[in-house]
Amino acid sequence: MKNGIYGALNINKPPGITSHDAVDRVRKLLKAKKVGHTGTLDPDASGVLPICIGKATRMSQYLLEADKEYHLIAKLGETTDTQDAGGQILETKDWRGVTQAAVRQIIQRFIGQIEQIPPMYSACKHNGKRLYQLARQGQWVERKPRRVVIHSLKLVSMELPLITLDVSCSKGTYMRTLCADVGELLGCGAHLHKLVRTRCGQFTIEQAVLLAELPKLIAEDRLMEKLYALDQILAHLPAITIDEESTHRVGLGSPVLVSGILAVSSEAIAQGAKVRLYNCAGKLLAIGESSLDFVRAHTPERHKIAFRPKRVLV
């Protein structure tokens, strides 16, 4: 890999390998020191896995917060200890009475803000240990529900005992738990049978690169065509253009006042939301955080602090 190269690769992870395996393969192919993924995919899952390279790894935490989309198949009638096809079957029930109307009615109840209890076979921590480590030791612990948002949940097809769903959701949403919860409400139980992540932020599966394609791209010196620049990686964040004085302030780590804002890409930005800060020439200066609820139609007092830089890039 050429010295100083950085950006993100939109990798289509195949099933059968871990996200860490995918990162390791990219690291070895590019001979890169800093490489990291932006959101784990289970080994049996496939699809979009953005991998950051070089100084772009500093942006990975912000991509973790991006919304995701999934194409999944749930199998009715079987619950497993891992909530997916790789686990041991705990219970079987008759699924033959399930109708398409019932499925459509049930999945509507999951749209919006919901609470999920993280599965035991997950990377969440309990007293410093990963839950999956405790589960493998035969330990079962109480987990606190987490709030997540499901933007849309659509029934694609139904060939019982399999149902296929398309899901658009916030970060931290467990597809395995969604399948198990839907199955519980249907009265027959269910587990995740197959999962493909189709989008992570602005990264889509249509534009993703197969791991097997990387050696050829490198040999043909075409890797740069597939690299996403820093501002492309963060395209899901609102963009803020600031004046010259504010540009200088951001370079010193100082906040941006409302009076220093020249343009805003979103109609409304909630307090605490992450944003991209640009100068007048269109150069990405920093990742900032909103200090107030900013609504374009109701601009607050010009002397108030609007954004605080969280990661300065210049």
Structure confidence at residue 226 (pLDDT)? 93
102 with 184, same domain: the answer is yes
Q: Looking at 233, 254, 283, which one is the last position of a domain?
A: 233
User: Which domain CATH number covers 113?
Assistant: 3.30.2350.10
- Look up residue 118 and give its DSSP letter: P
User: Which domain CATH number covers 266?
Assistant: 2.30.130.10
20 with 55, same domain: the answer is yes
Structure confidence at residue 90 (pLDDT)? 95
Q: Looking at 188, 211, 233, which one is the last position of a domain?
A: 233
* Partners of 182 in beta bridges: none
78 with 196, same domain: the answer is yes
H or E element, residue 8: strand 7-13
**In the numeric block, which tokens belong to residue 102?**
């019932």
76 with 133, same domain: the answer is yes
In a domain, 188, yes or no: yes
Distance CA 47, CA 114 (A): 25
Closest residue by Cα to residue 228 from 197, 202, 250, 265? 202
Structure confidence at residue 211 (pLDDT)? 92
In a domain, 282, yes or no: yes
Total number of domains in the chain: 3
Closest residue by Cα to residue 36 from 24, 52, 25? 52
In a domain, 1, yes or no: no
In a domain, 152, yes or no: yes
Structure confidence at residue 1 (pLDDT)? 45
Q: 3-class DSSP state for residue 224?
A: helix
Structure confidence at residue 207 (pLDDT)? 95
Distance CA 52, CA 181 (A): 33
100 with 138, same domain: the answer is yes
Structure confidence at residue 279 (pLDDT)? 96
In a domain, 49, yes or no: yes
In a domain, 86, yes or no: yes
77 with 44, same domain: the answer is no
Contact 45, 32 (CB under 8 A): no
143 with 183, same domain: the answer is yes
In a domain, 113, yes or no: yes
| Domain extent at residue 218 | 7-66+202-233
Residues assigned a catalytic role? 42
259 with 172, same domain: the answer is no
Residues of the chain predicted below pLDDT 50: 1
173 with 61, same domain: the answer is no
In a domain, 2, yes or no: no
Structure confidence at residue 120 (pLDDT)? 63
271 with 222, same domain: the answer is no
129 with 73, same domain: the answer is yes
Task: Give the model confidence (pLDDT) of 210-227 as tens digits.
Answer: 999 999 999 999 999 999
Structure confidence at residue 196 (pLDDT)? 98
* DSSP code per residue over 18-85: -HHHHHHHHHHHHT-S-EEESS---TT-EEEEEEEEGGGGGGHHHHHTS-EEEEEEEEETEEETTSBT
| End-to-end CA gap in the chain | 24
Which 3-state string (H, E, C) describes 158-218? EECCEEEEEEEECCCCCHHHHHHHHHHHHCCCEEEEEEEEEEECCEEHHHCEEHHHHHHHH
73 with 125, same domain: the answer is yes
Structure confidence at residue 40 (pLDDT)? 85
